[in-house]
Amino acid sequence: MKFSIVRSKFLDGLQRIQNVVSGRGTLQILQNAMIEAEGDRLCMTTTDLDISERCYVECQIEEPGSTTLPIRRLASIIRELDEGKIMVEVDEDDVATVQSGSSYFKIIGMSVRDFPPVPVTEGKFCYRIDQGVLREMLRKTSYAISQDETRRVLNGVLMAFKDNKLTMVATDGRRLALVEQEIEFPPEAEAELILPNKAVTELMRLLSNEGDLKVYAQTNQAVFEIGTTMMSSKLIDGVYPNYRQVIPGACDERVVIEREALLSALRRVSVVTTDKSNATRLTFSANQLTISINTPDVGEGRDTLPVKYAGKEISIIFNPEYVMDPLKNIDDDEVYLEMNDGHSPALLKCNVPFLYVLMPLRIS
């Protein structure tokens, strides 16, 4: 195999697919990228057996062929080279020589015969979604994914395609984030996918704010086609809990709060919290919110800010991080907090199809 390629294009392709590769893998072949030269482009693929990524890069091919090379080592070399054309030649023993100007490197690879098979793009259903929209939906929900590995079905984001809407949900049992977006698909394409946390993180990295992507849904995996890049991921097996039943119905009280002011106040008073003691009391009275924290052996903090509220006085205790997470990931100037009392779940909303259910802390 022999080809020449522009450094910037080669490096961009390698960087798009290298995050899947773990430095702690036990199989050496999984540290490598499969590189296939055919026609007028390279096809480069990585996998960790759960997630696979593939991208296509333009190049000039003198001799077609394929090999696998250690991607992090290769990317480090390409990154340090000056901009310009790079010549790559691979012999029959999968040893690659990389040349650019006065620089010369030799890299030992492995045969493509040892590389795991990669899923193809064909799926049972295909959905077309705006990249920016999907990225925002993931941003508004992914922070609520459970990190408790004993609750496997909650270790990802639910993507529910139903009634010409994509509903995305994440929960860890203490809070729940939900966002919806209208998209078009035939009734027979209704489906539910649970995308694992690592795949969510990687997908958000690959998505841009321009153009559409295609989502191919299969029985146990999903494939995301983003321009010249493809990512496939195994899905979490299981049935997602009935999230609708934990969403409060009509609430008695509603508070209008400036999002940035609330976020700033929570950040200030959170300075005196600890990992073991983070209970933060929010007390709502006529057009006023008082946020207070009292942490044994550390100290206390209090902040007051104006709100729009004319209901009864309510005092409710939250983990401040759980309140700040949605505030960091929505862009509205104002948010709406709906409550019944200080002991029932509260509901945070904004002016887009988004809601956030938050369980209060119970302090003895």
- Note whether 174 and 273 are same-domain residues: no
Residue 196 belongs to a domain: yes
Domain-embedded: residue 364: no
Alpha-carbon dihedral angle through residues 58, 62, 66, 67, given to the nearest 10 degrees:
-100
Domain boundary among 114, 143, 161: 114
Report CA dihedral (252, 245, 196, 202) to the nearest 10 degrees: -30
From 19-28, 86-95, 191-200, the region with the lowest mean pLDDT: 19-28
Q: Estimate to the nearest angstrom the gap between the alpha carbon of 357 and the chain centroid.
A: 20
**β-strand partners of 315:** 283
Residues 353, 258 share a domain: yes
Residue 25 binned pLDDT confidence (cut-offs 50, 70, 90): low
Total number of domains constituting the chain: 3
Q: How far is CA 141 from CA 15, 26, 134, 178, 292, in A?
A: 26, 32, 11, 6, 27
Residues 120-140 pLDDT 10s = 666 678 999 999 999 999 999
pLDDT at 121: 65
Position 333 scores a pLDDT of: 95
Residues 264 and 226 in one domain: no
| 360: pLDDT strictly greater than 80 | yes
For residue 213, being part of any structural domain is answered with yes
Cα end-to-end distance, the chain, whole Å: 70
Same domain, 97 and 192: no
Contact 61, 38 (CB under 8 A): yes
> Do the domain assignments include residue 319?
yes
User: How far is Cα 180 from Cα 263, in angstroms, rounded to an integer?
Assistant: 24
> Does the pLDDT of residue 118 top 90, yes or no?
no
CATH number at residue 301: 3.10.150.10
Quickly list H helices, 107-237: 131-141, 197-206
| Cα separation, 284 vs 292, whole angstroms | 12
Are both 215 and 293 inside the same structural domain? no
**Do 275 and 287 fall into the same domain?**
yes
Residues 130 and 239 in one domain: yes
| Segment 255-289, tens digit of pLDDT | 999 999 999 999 999 998 887 778 899 999 999 99
Mean pLDDT of the chain: 94
Same domain, 297 and 278: yes
At which of 80, 114, 148 does a domain end? 114
Environment class of 112 (CB within 10 Å of its CB; exposed 0-12, middle 13-18, buried 19+): middle
Of the residues 73, 90, 114, the one at which a domain ends: 114
* Domain shared by 226 and 134, yes or no: yes
- Distance, in Å, from the CA atom of 154 to the CA atom of 243, rounded to the nearest integer, reads 11
With respect to residue 363, please indicate whether it lies within any of the assigned structural domains: no
* 291 is a domain residue: yes
Q: Are residues 161 and 200 in the same domain?
A: yes
**Domain-embedded: residue 239:** yes
Residue 209 and residue 307 in one domain:
no
Write down the pTM of the prediction: 0.91
Together in a domain, 89 and 149? no
Residues 325 and 263: their CA atoms lie apart, in Å, by 9
Whether residue 203 is predicted with pLDDT greater than 90 in this model: the reply is yes
Close Cβ partners of 348 (under 8 Å, ≥ 6 residues apart) = 323, 326, 335, 336, 337, 338, 355, 356, 357, 358
Domain containing residue 347 = 247-358
Count of beta carbons in the 10 Å neighbourhood of residue 115: 19
33 falls within a domain: yes
